[in-house]
Structure 1
Amino acid sequence: MANTKSAKKAVRQIDRRTSVNRQRRSKMRTFLRKVEEAISSGDQGAAKTALAAAEPILMRAAQKGIVHKNTASRKVSRLNARVKALAATA
């Protein structure tokens, strides 16, 4: 356990940041899951809407350091491709 005053403060800060990061990661995953569900259901309109809502959340997570920016871009790109493929098959 932390002994010094500064170490105790650092522990408090880490706890706060961990909590915030966990919330952000959970929100990001929820939005991604909504897109996945819309794609699997075959509903093109819902998939487009879900993707439009998920993209800024994902990019904001990258900006805040939850995921790497290339990871976020890759996820958006692949989801976008899948939504477009859904439109082509419909």
Structure 2
Amino acid sequence: MSANNPILKNNFRVELSIYNTAQKADIDKRKPELLGYLRKQLNNTLLDLDLIIDKSNVPKGFFTEKDKYKKLLEKNPTVDKLRNKFGLSF
């Protein structure tokens, strides 16, 4: 939840953008506890949470071993010397 700030909408509805269905499933599982806590702390029993899957804002990750290795080489080119010295492949 730290990646996207919640937005307060009309009628005390809080909209939270998430990245995927896995996040939605996790938050849905904890939603009753989360809403119970927020409603008590904010003294507002009308508060509700809407989850919006926003795939346009997904952070780019490194998906293949080759991509990870290229990124590592950008940070530290001597890694390639070590790979060659020990006869390793990626």
TM-score, length of structure 1 as denominator length: 0.31
Larger helix proportion of the pair: 1
TM-score, length of structure 2 as denominator length: 0.31
